Structure 1
Amino acid sequence: MQSYQIDLADADATVALGKQLAALISAPCVVYLIGDLGAGKTTFSRGLIQGFGYEGNVKSPTYTLVEPYELADVSIYHFDLYRLADPQELEFIGIEEYFTQSSICLVEWPDKGQGWLASADIQINIEHKNEQRSAEIVGLTAIGQKIVEQLA
């Protein structure tokens, strides 16, 4: 399993990593975002979504569970499952309808939706490293491995 490690000096560097990944990702792709509160998962997502040409505000879907971004060439769905009380709630929002051949799904706190989510192609682990952040991008499928190879 290949991985790519990078230190992120600040929020701008985290956004830049998201934009860099956007240039390498195409649908279908599922990205799991792992990290503590405030680690930079939503900041990374903002960069990736902007990297696909979205110019509006990218906000955390903490209260809505999912924030859709319908772009010309792709649908991006940004999930934040932090407040999910029971994974079965995902059935009520029709979770399986989001994971399609024409979508990219970014999932924060995927452990809270275990058993209801599509498997990840890429897992991004973001952690605090003193005043900075560190990110590890792991390719979990052939699609993910190809993306990690292009980053390295």
Structure 2
Amino acid sequence: MHSADHNHSVLSLHLRDEAATAEFARRLAPLLAPGIVVWLDGDLGSGKTTLVRAMLRACGHTGPVKSPTFALVEIYVISRIYWYHFDFYRFKFPEEFLDAGLGEYFRDDAVCLVEWPQKAAGYLPPPDLVVSLHFAEKGRRIEVSAASTEGRECLKALTSREPPGAG
């Protein structure tokens, strides 16, 4: 599932506002195939959950999308694909990933979106994509890095057309 390759590709964009973030999510979401793992990096309040919410909406989810900070994982099933949204912010030790039995969620029929992946370092499966969000100017700077063959294919498809709403 995850091909080892150290030749990373990176896309970097400025997102002016929440609408631009949602537009980016609408472009990214359909490219995330089952089996893909996305690490979401960024400071508190940088827009990680906002991005996930917009991706789920883009895939047709109409119910609530809440931060999994206390539950550790929120589960969505959209068009027979499992979407698992994790948040490890509250982990004190990486071993809590094992104690909570979260490894079983990382399957070939699921898209896994992981906030605060560094808090489960050493136990979390490797990413296909790393999405970093940072405060910049009046909006956010988003960087998408490919960390596997699957991730590079996704990034290639993402960059194959001009991004609307980014600047």
TM class, shorter-chain normalised?
Answer: over 0.9
Does the alignment pair 1:147 with 2:154? yes
Tell me how far apart the structure 2 counterparts of residues 26 and 98 of structure 1 sit (CA, whole Å). Answer: 15
What is the identity, as a one-letter code, of the residue corresponding to 1:87? Answer: P
Q: Report the equivalent of 1:138.
A: 145
How many residues align? The count is 152
| CA deviation profile, 1:50-105 (whole Å, cap 9, x unmatched) | 12211111111111111111223200000111111222222232111100000000
Is the contact between residue 77 and residue 106 of structure 1 (CA under 8 Å) also seen in structure 2? yes
How many percent identity over aligned positions?
A: 37
Q: What is the aligned partner in structure 1 of residue 125 from structure 2?
A: 118
Aligned to 2:15: 8
Residue 45 (1) aligns with residue 52 (2): yes
Q: Structure 2: 5+ residue runs without aligned partners?
A: 1-7, 160-167
The alignment partner of 1:23 has SS state of helix
Deviations 1:120-144 (A, max 9, x none): 0000111010211010111110000
**Residues 38-117 of structure 1: pairs in structure 2 closer than 5 A:** 38-117=45-124
CA distance in 1, matches of 2:121, 2:147: 16
TM-score by length of structure 2 reads 0.87
Q: Which amino acid aligns with 2:154?
A: I
TM-score in terms of structure 1 length: 0.96
The structure with the largest alpha-carbon Rg is 2
Report the residue type matching 1:121 in the other structure: D
Aligned AA for 2:102? I
SS in 2 for 1:120: coil
Q: Is the 8 A contact 1:95 1:116 kept in 2?
A: no
Query: More relative contact order in 1 or in 2 (CA 8 Å, sep 6+)?
Result: 2
Cα offset, 1:47, TM superposition: 1.2
Structure 1 unaligned runs (5+)? none
Contact 1:30-1:104 at 8 Å conserved across structures: yes
Amino acid at match of 1:47: A
Equivalent residue for 1:129? 136
CA deviations over 1:16-37 (Å, ceiling 9, x no partner): 2112111211111000001011
